[in-house]
Chains A and B, each alone.
Chain A
Amino acid sequence: MVETLIFLSSGLFLGWSLGANDAANVFGTAVGSRMVRFTTAAVIASLAVIAGAVLQGAGSTTGLGKLGQIDALPGAFIVALAAAVTVLGMTRARLPVSTSQAIVGAILGWNMFSHRDTDTTILSRVVTTWVAAPVLGAIFAASLQVGIKVWLRIFKPHMLRLDQYTRWALILAGAFGAFSLGANNIGNVMGVFVPSAPFDASVIRGLTVTAEQKLFLIGGVAISVGIFTYSRRVMETIGADLLPVSPIGAFTVVVAQGLVLMVFSSRELSAWCVDHGLPAIPLIPVSSSQAVVGAVVGLGLLKGSAGLRQLRWRFLGGIALGWVTTPLIAMMLSFVALYVLQNVFGQEVHL
């Protein structure tokens, strides 16, 4: 049991860093502008993340599993650790980083080390989602913003009432965003441990809890701990990194991000697409930060040339660079660490 927990610790560390960094994407503006208290935001975000992870987390995890079936717990430990170290290192270096890209790079490192073939179709789908997530974020945000503008023009609510609605909308959008974050990104945190999950399914009062769900619950709790212990500073300092956004704009961004994450996690939506003759949506963890960036860019584009001038293009360039550097660094770290664990510590990192 102790050994199991030690091996799971890298995933928990990854979960903690995800909670610390990505919760700011859903509640950052609300807390930063002091519209919602940090404790309120942290409690709502934590509960929603855990609910999303346990109830909807299986979808995106399946997609990641297809990229690399990590069949030994020490191997999964190293993959998660390599991703976590990459995320931490890049965050320290103030470079935009995505947990999803780090974990994909680390899995590729394991594939290389264990001489397993990487399914290029799956890989190309994963890479496509990296581009698709911000693009979809931009489309969702721009459409939502247009809808809100039309609504405001028709109903002309009093400013005070509108601000009250905005406050509630930010809380609800934050809960939805956190649920989607849990559903989609739990694959990053615990996905690599699924094939070697050290748990059994159990029935509690007639309710079956699968081994996967137990794993996701632990991962969800790790994310929650990250939210409570470290996200406050990120939330309170989050500002106009990319473009100054109003509270209504912030609501739009959070909902757009939640929708993007939901699109790439919902088995039901993917099945619906197939039923209607559309291509299946790849169920893969995507970067919530990049969905947010896409949404903010969408709002900027909607403002026309003024919005484009306000955008910080160098920041965007850094994100695009991260699409290449993050998986590469994680892959190399994973490969080297697997070599060390197998040859120095004598652990079996693959079957």
Chain B
Amino acid sequence: MEAKKWHREYLERYQRLKEAGLPFFPNTVFKDTLVAFVIFALLAYLAWTKGAVLEEPADPTDNTYNPRPEWYFLFLFQALKLFPGHLEAVAAVVLPGMIVLGFILVPFLDRGPRRHPLTRPLGLGLGVVGLGVYCFLTWKGYSSPLTNPIVEKDPVILAGRRLYRDLKCSYCHKVSGKGGTAGPELDKVAGEETEAWLISHFKNPQQMSPGSTMPVLNLLDDEITSLVAYMKSFGVGSYTPEAPKLFAENCSACHMINKQGGDSGPDLSLIGSARDKNFLKKYVEDPSQMNPSSAMPGFQGQLTDTQIDDIARYLATLGQ
């Protein structure tokens, strides 16, 4: 019953403090009003001088737009970069969930009579560290380019996926094991074809695959681009035996795969679950274009296009 005792003592002491205090009006009201005026002045200044930006109308087919989150969410996007591959998807939900749960639990975990921060080192420590981490991640997120797979799902691929659905391709084709059986399983075969082949195939299936029962879809060029991008996004698992050798010769001095290799660059054992082949290819060609703070040299010119493509295919399978 110790807890009850301090509860009662607190209420009595609070009653005394309250009676010795000043009335809400005009004392507190004065301070509140003053603050309100300052805030309104600041708001009005920002509204008048900066206003609110209105960008171009939303274009769901635009494949170049890369949205940045509001600054107060930047920390989350930065934090997600710490989680590899599929873990990131979980973290995207779990992390905010844990923050909210933490908020809810605060009054139930910290129940003693002590209130001053200096008498609650744990509470103070957690608060300061939490705030510090928040500020640090926000700053990191602000100063680094956005390289977040959830954000950076290529919109062309998304558009392709939408078209795939709208055109009811899954009546005949399987992707991720779902769909019909009349046509081939696309995620097994389509990624291996060249873009040119896929484009021609979408224009006239019978010309590329004689005997195919696939209808001519009369697609617009944009639509074909999207669908090809979607098909190419499956493009994993078709690297040559050459690729791991190329990796060992050119990359493993800095990068580790399954504990083999150097550690001056990131461990790539799970990279395929976070990046698709095209991203990896561009990155290997010229890292600075994807991530200005990268210390990695570009391999465009060092290796042939086919070799880089091969390595990217190989990397894209890791962790899948």
Q: Judge: A and B partners, yes or no.
A: no
B residues near A (Cβ < 8 Å) are: none
